[in-house]
């Protein structure tokens, strides 16, 4: 969206009575193709152009958004935002970011935008290749579809505090889901990837084959008796253990006192030697950006260093509430005040690959799928439904399903052993993780 248009919106908000204002413009184009059982199932095309506005009157704030950016619609948007702010309750921590912390240009080139725009025919061909490869795997009897998609967009923010920044990015994705059957049961398997640049996508046939292999490999899954045993989280799903960590160290949670880590700053949380880093400047990273969503300069952060918790993740509001400075982790959509989110979060790898972790554990549970997690944010008590494989003598023995693992995350983090098989597949990544003992609920 044009910088002049956003500057005009901010100026109009100030003229209408706002003390400060922040305008955001977002544009997006996307194309997605889905194929199922060899037939074209769905084609989706999206083109959007949206405007968001946040205004402040004293310590009162309000935000509005809309997709009509005509002069009349912008005027109405401004009037509505200012009227809402006058009626809003006071928030002593509301306000634009500290001007001294704003990102200064030139912004780093993070290589996030690939100008290639694949045709519908090219995406359909990829989707067909994906699905055909999945269906060709022995024992695969059906398909939940193959999909190929592309998107590109830009995000521009202008504030009355003097910040203006543009962030552009593209995305290319492939995914397939297969259904396998042996006459006694059915299992599903999925594989997919999303990348910033088209050339970084793995081979479509390989993705489809892996989806089929994962479905067929789960056939004959058994139920197991409840027990306590070593548990390994496969690298594809191990990053799910970092989600509760992010929530527990986010500034808003700390300010409200609703975090199981609220008293752990500067103390060991993980085992010695374990590190978790957040890097907003990773080249071609799915979570990368040159500045946060308040325009604050961001930087790589070691959230966990040698096992110890080093910082909270803060936006301007939570930082003011805690008497600290924002860490550049503000995250927002078009409407509403910013929240807090990491960028590219990574649990750093250890020295043992998956086979090595299984050999160390000797026998236990290898989790390859999780669903329905439950967390008590105040205590860290956590449980999750899962399926995977039972292993013995360091080797996979048979698939298992309909089980739940549970424990307290403070205890789990303290005993967590990261493997060496880190793959950068998304914005949050981890290698396989070994926990030496967890409660497993089965039969």
pLDDT in tens, the chain (443 residues): 789 999 999 999 999 999 999 999 999 999 999 999 999 999 999 999 999 999 999 999 999 999 999 999 999 999 999 999 999 999 999 999 999 999 998 999 999 999 999 999 999 999 999 999 999 999 999 999 999 999 999 999 999 999 999 999 999 999 999 999 998 889 999 999 999 999 999 999 999 999 999 999 999 999 999 999 999 999 999 999 999 999 999 999 999 999 999 999 999 999 999 999 999 999 999 999 999 999 999 999 999 999 999 999 999 999 999 999 999 999 998 988 999 999 999 999 999 999 999 999 999 999 999 999 999 999 999 999 999 999 999 999 999 999 999 999 999 999 999 999 999 999 999 999 999 999 999 87
- Report d(CA 246, CA 137) in Å as an integer: 38
pLDDT score at 215: 97
Asked whether 317 and 277 are in contact (CB, 8 A), the reply is: no
Question: What pairs with residue 143 in β-bridges?
Answer: 178
Asked whether 23 and 51 are in contact (CB, 8 A), the reply is: yes
Query: Does 257 lie in the same domain as 211?
Result: no
> Rounded to whole angstroms, what are the CA distances from 261 to 62, 255, 308, 329?
31, 12, 12, 18
Instruction: List Cβ neighbours of 283 (8 Å cut-off, separation of 6 or more).
Output: 110, 111
Q: Beta strand pairing status for 345-347 and 428-429?
A: parallel
End residue of a domain, out of 186, 216, 246:
216
End residue of a domain, out of 216, 242, 260:
216
Query: Does 234 lie in the same domain as 127?
Result: no
- Report d(CA 290, CA 267) in Å as an integer: 30
- For 151, half-sphere exposure in the C-beta direction (CA atoms, 13 angstrom radius) is 18
Query: Does 346 lie in the same domain as 230?
Result: yes
Query: Does 245 lie in the same domain as 140?
Result: no
Asked whether 13 and 81 are in contact (CB, 8 A), the reply is: yes
If one counts the domains in the chain, the total is 2
End residue of a domain, out of 199, 216, 233:
216
pLDDT score at 184: 85
The DSSP secondary-structure symbol of 379 reads: T
Query: Does 170 lie in the same domain as 71?
Result: yes
- For 33, half-sphere exposure in the C-beta direction (CA atoms, 13 angstrom radius) is 22
E strand residue ranges, 234-342:
276-278, 301-305, 308-309, 330-331, 339-340
Look up residue 117 and give its two tokens.
């725009």
Asked whether 59 and 95 are in contact (CB, 8 A), the reply is: yes
What is the chain's length? 443
Burial letters 124-141, b for 16+ CB under 10 A, else e: bbbbbbbbbbbbebebbe
User: What range does the domain containing 170 cover?
Assistant: 3-216
Asked whether 143 and 132 are in contact (CB, 8 A), the reply is: no
Query: Does 310 lie in the same domain as 169?
Result: no
Query: Does 106 lie in the same domain as 199?
Result: yes
Query: Does 231 lie in the same domain as 207?
Result: no
* CATH number of the domain where residue 95 is located: 3.30.2290.10
Give phi and psi for 440, each to the nearest 5: -120, 120
Query: Does 285 lie in the same domain as 206?
Result: no
pLDDT score at 443: 78
Query: Does 237 lie in the same domain as 110?
Result: no
Q: Is the pTM of this model over 0.85?
A: yes
Query: Does 226 lie in the same domain as 167?
Result: no
pLDDT score at 335: 87
Query: Does 94 lie in the same domain as 57?
Result: yes
- Report d(CA 2, CA 8) in Å as an integer: 10
């Amino acid at each position: 969206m044009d910088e002049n248009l956003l500057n005009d919106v901010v100026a109009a908000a100030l003229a209408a009575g706002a003390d400060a204002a922040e305008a955001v413009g977002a544009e997006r184009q996307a194309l997605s193709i889905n194929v199922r059982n060899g037939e074209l199932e769905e084609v989706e095309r999206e083109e959007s152009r949206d405007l968001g506005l946040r205004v402040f009157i004293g310590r009162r704030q309000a935000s509005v958004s809309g997709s009509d950016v005509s002069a009349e619609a912008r005027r109405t948007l401004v009037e509505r935002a200012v009227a809402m702010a006058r009626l809003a309750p006071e928030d002593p921590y509301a306000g634009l970011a500290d001007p001294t912390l704003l990102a200064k240009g030139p912004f780093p080139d993070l290589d996030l935008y690939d100008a290639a725009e694949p045709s519908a025919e090219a995406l359909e061909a990829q989707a067909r290749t994906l699905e055909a490869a999945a269906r060709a795997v022995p024992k695969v009897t059906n398909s939940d579809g193959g999909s190929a998609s592309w998107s590109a967009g830009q995000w521009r923010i202008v504030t009355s505090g003097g910040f203006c920044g543009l962030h552009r990015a593209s995305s290319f994705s492939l995914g397939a889901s297969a259904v396998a059957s042996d006459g006694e049961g059915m299992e599903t398997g999925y594989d997919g990837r999303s990348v910033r640049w088209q050339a970084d996508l793995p081979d479509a046939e390989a993705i489809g084959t892996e989806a089929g292999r994962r479905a067929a490999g789960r056939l004959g899954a058994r139920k197991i008796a409840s027990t306590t045993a070593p548990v390994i989280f496969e690298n594809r799903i191990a990053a799910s253990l970092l989600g509760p960590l992010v929530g527990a160290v986010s500034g808003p949670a700390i300010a409200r006192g609703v975090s199981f880590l609220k008293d752990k700053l500067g103390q060991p949380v993980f085992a010695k030697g374990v590190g978790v880093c957040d890097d907003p400047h990773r080249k071609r990273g799915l979570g990368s950006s040159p500045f946060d969503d308040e325009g604050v300069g961001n930087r790589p952060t070691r959230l966990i260093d040698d096992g110890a918790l080093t910082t909270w993740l803060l936006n301007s509001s939570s930082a003011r509430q805690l008497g600290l400075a924002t860490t550049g982790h503000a995250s927002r959509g078009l409407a509403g005040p910013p929240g807090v989110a990491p960028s590219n979060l990574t649990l750093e790898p250890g020295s043992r690959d998956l086979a090595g972790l299984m050999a160390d554990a000797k026998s236990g549970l290898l989790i390859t799928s999780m669903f329905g997690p439950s967390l008590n944010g105040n205590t860290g008590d956590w449980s999750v439904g899962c399926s995977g494989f039972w292993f013995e003598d360091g080797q996979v023995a048979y698939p298992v399903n309909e089980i739940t693992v549970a424990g307290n995350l403070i205890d789990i983090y303290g005993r967590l052993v990261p493997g060496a098989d880190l793959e950068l597949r998304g914005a949050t990544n981890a290698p396989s993780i070994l926990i030496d003992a967890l409660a497993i609920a089965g039969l």
